[in-house]
Structures are given as structure tokens and as C-alpha cells.
């Protein structure tokens, strides 16, 4: 029977895409390896993972809602049920290693693996870890961190600081002309890429809508990822030079086409922007644990590697900051050169090396 590795993590692209990057690197190293994903029913991983070519098993699990306690009525039942699913699945397939990349989907699988004596590894993207990874910290065999700032939340003897895994396609060099051809856009125009995360960012969408005529007045080509939650509201603003998309499938081309990026400050987005050296205006989400997105962005701002506008100040500061960046070529070049210094291009290889070590020590 082929050896297998189980990978679990989901809910958002910030957990799914690192998991896929790890899977791709494992497959490149060990083509004979069977890789199986575990996710949560009705979450985006159930579509994204099969699209990437991997099988996925769905567990009946959801996160604990701290804002609306009534939504948690079924949480205890879901947790017990998903632990049972994890037990049956792991006993049947007996993987060599279980990998968790965060999000509530990974909790039951990694926890049950620790009970069954199956080696397990966590990959934590953020400077401030999520609830699931913090809860599992003492049970797993190894932890790979995307940020040095997360060290204090995990046992020192289990930590390796690797950086965050970035999809292999991001490492490919693509010219702006080739990228625009692939996307069907105009390579002669200044191109602004706007990202609000896989689900979308309400405030960023509002800001772009409010200043759309001013952006178009500067002869800017706009690639605007509005998110699935806001597609119906914003897709109607599409035009010949304004491309409004719920989700961008070809992110390497979108990045390569961009002269400037407006983005949230999630760990995965930052890792990709550093790798590609893209000048970026960050608008961190204020609705995250310990305000970790602002901390992520501020670390770059302090080194002259990015520009930051807080949501609370955005109505006043966003447009005048964006206008300067669009018009100031030297400023963009400086930001791009500085952010690239933070890149960790070998992160995925380092994580896979840790997984292979666990496989050999089983």
C-alpha cells in the first residue's frame, strides 16, 4: 500500500493555498506518495482542492462563533462527530504524517492523529496564531512558523522558522506583457491590482467604488478582486479597463501584470508580495485576532517596504495616498526593492524537509 500524507486546513485561502503549496512540493519530491486533504463541508476548500488535483474528505465541523452564540448550538455535536470521522479515517488509511495549516477543519484530524501516535506537523502563517493551532501546539511533533513573532506561542523544541509556503507558480518569472496577454488585458496601461482576500473586503470595495472615476481618470487599468460575497454588488462596474472578479484563478499573471497592489495584510498575501517584489498599499483588516494584520504590515512599513492606511483613516487618507503611488514611479521602485528583501523563497522546501524527517522517524 502506498504511503500517504494527510493535509488539513481551510475556511479561507490563507489556510488552503499554503496547504496546496506543501502538497505540490511533497508530490514533486515523492511522486509515489498519496496525498489526501481533509476540509469542512460547504467551505471553499471543498472546491479549491479538487480543482488543484487532490482528493478531499469533508468533515462536519465549523468554527466557534464568538459574536452570535446562538449559532453554536450544534458546535458540540459537530466537534464530537468530526472527531469520530477523523478516528475512522486515520485508522483506515494510517498516514505516515498528518499536516495542519490552520482553520477549524484541521483541529479534529491533527488532534486524533496525536492520540493515535501518528506524527503530526503544524504550519502557522501568522505572527499571532489562530485558536486551532494554539490549542494543538503541545500535541504535535513539529511546528513550522511563517513569522518569528509567533515563537512565543509554541514549545521551543518543536519550532522551525521557515517562512510561509508560496505556490510554485509564484516562483515563475513572467513579464507584464506575457501576463496581460494571458489575462486578455492591455499591457500598455498602468495596472492596479486590488485584493480583498478570497471572500472579499467590504471596506476596500467601498473605497474603490467611491474613487473609481478618479482612478479611471488617471488612465489606470484596474484588476479588482471583489470577493464572492460582493460579486453581485460590484461586478456591474466592469468595463473595458476595469475588470471586476469574484476570485482570480491566475494569480501569478495578475501579480505580474500589476504595477501597484492594494491589499489586505494576511500572511499569505504578504509572503507572495515579498517574493514578487510588488509595491503595495496595505489596508489591514481590523477584524482579526490581536490586530495581527496591521502588525504584519507595520513590520514592512518600518523598513520602507510598504505603505499602510488603516481602515479607520481610509476615508480621509486612501485616495491621496493611492494617487501619489500611482504617479510616483521612483517611490514604487523603492518599495518594490525593499519588500523583496523580506522574501523567503525556500519556505516550502524547508517545510517539506521537516515532514520527510517525521516520516523517517515514525
Query: What pLDDT score does 71 carry?
Result: 64
Report d(CA 79, CA 73) in Å as an integer.
11
How far from the centroid of its chain's Cα atoms is residue 264's Cα?
11
Pick from 262, 277, 188: which is nearest to 224 by CA?
262
Report d(CA 296, CA 126) in Å as an integer.
8
Please identify which residue in the block is written with the cell numbers 476615508. Answer: 315
Q: Where are the domains of the chain?
A: 4-166+345-360, 169-340
Report d(CA 235, CA 81) in Å as an integer.
39
DSSP structure class, residue 67: S
User: In terms of residues, how long is the chain?
Assistant: 362
Report d(CA 140, CA 59) in Å as an integer.
20
Task: Look at the pTM and tell me if it is higher than 0.75.
Answer: yes
Give average pLDDT by consecutive 10-residue segment, the chain, 362 residues: 84 84 95 92 84 87 60 70 88 94 87 96 89 90 92 94 88 91 96 87 96 97 94 93 93 96 93 96 88 89 97 97 98 98 94 95 62
Query: What pLDDT score does 70 carry?
Result: 59
DSSP structure class, residue 245: E
C-alpha cell at 345: 523563497
CATH topology of 4-166+345-360 equal to that of 169-340? yes
Task: Give the orientation angle of helix 267-276 with respect to helix 292-301, to 10 degrees.
Answer: 20
Report d(CA 264, CA 278) in Å as an integer.
14
Please give the CATH topology (third level) of the domain spanning 4-166+345-360: Rossmann fold (3.40.50)
C-alpha cell at 356: 520527510
For residue 244, give the 3-state DSSP assignment: strand
Please give the CATH topology (third level) of the domain spanning 169-340: Rossmann fold (3.40.50)
Please identify which residue in the block is written with the cell numbers 522517524. Answer: 361
Tell me the DSSP string of 85-119.
HHHHHHHHH--SEEEE-SSTTHHHHHHHHHHTT--
C-alpha cell at 207: 473605497
Report d(CA 104, CA 102) in Å as an integer.
7
Amino acid at each position: 500500500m502506498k504511503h500517504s500524507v494527510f493535509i488539513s486546513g481551510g475556511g479561507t485561502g490563507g489556510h488552503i493555498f499554503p496547504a496546496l503549496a506543501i502538497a505540490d512540493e511533497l508530490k514533486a519530491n515523492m511522486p509515489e506518495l498519496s496525498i489526501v486533504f481533509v476540509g469542512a463541508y460547504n467551505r471553499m476548500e471543498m472546491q479549491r482542492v479538487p480543482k488543484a488535483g487532490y482528493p478531499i474528505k469533508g468533515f462536519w465541523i465549523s468554527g466557534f462563533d464568538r459574536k452570535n452564540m446562538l449559532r453554536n448550538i450544534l458546535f458540540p455535536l459537530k466537534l464530537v462527530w468530526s472527531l469520530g470521522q477523523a478516528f475512522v479515517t486515520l485508522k483506515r488509511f494510517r498516514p505516515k504524517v498528518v499536516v495542519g495549516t490552520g482553520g477549524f477543519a484541521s483541529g479534529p484530524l491533527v488532534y486524533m492523529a496525536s492520540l493515535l501516535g501518528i506524527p503530526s506537523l503544524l504550519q502557522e502563517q501568522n505572527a499571532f496564531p489562530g485558536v486551532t493551532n494554539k490549542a494543538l501546539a503541545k500535541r504535535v511533533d513539529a511546528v513550522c512558523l511563517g513569522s518569528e513573532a509567533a515563537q512565543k506561542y509554541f514549545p521551543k523544541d518543536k519550532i522551525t522558522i521557515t517562512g510561509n509556503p508560496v505556490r510554485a507558480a509564484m516562483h515563475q518569472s513572467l513579464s507584464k506583457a506575457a501576463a496581460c496577454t494571458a489575462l486578455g488585458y492591455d499591457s500598455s496601461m498602468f495596472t492596479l491590482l486590488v485584493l480583498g482576500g478570497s471572500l472579499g473586503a467590504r471596506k476596500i470595495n467601498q473605497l474603490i467604488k467611491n474613487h473609481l472615476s478618479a482612478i479611471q481618470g488617471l488612465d489606470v487599468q484596474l484588476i479588482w478582486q471583489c470577493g464572492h460575497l460582493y460579486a453581485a454588488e460590484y461586478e456591474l462596474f466592469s468595463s473595458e479597463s476595469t475588470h471586476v472578479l469574484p476570485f482570480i484563478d491566475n494569480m501569478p499573471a495578475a501579480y505580474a501584470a500589476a504595477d501597484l497592489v492594494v491589499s489586505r495584510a494576511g500572511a499569505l498575501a504578504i509572503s507572495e508580495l515579498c517574493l514578487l517584489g510588488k509595491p503595495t498599499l496595505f489596508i489591514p483588516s481590523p477584524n482579526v485576532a490581536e490586530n495581527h494584520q496591521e502588525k504584519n504590515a507595520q513590520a514592512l512599513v518600518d523598513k520602507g517596504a510598504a505603505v499602510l492606511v488603516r481602515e479607520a483613516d481610509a476615508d480621509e487618507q486612501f485616495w491621496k495616498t493611492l494617487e501619489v503611488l500611482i504617479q510616483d514611479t521612483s517611490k514604487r521602485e523603492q518599495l518594490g526593492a525593499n519588500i523583496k528583501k523580506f522574501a523567503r523563497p525556500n519556505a516550502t522546501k524547508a517545510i517539506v524537509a521537516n515532514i520527510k524527517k517525521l516520516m523517517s522517524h515514525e
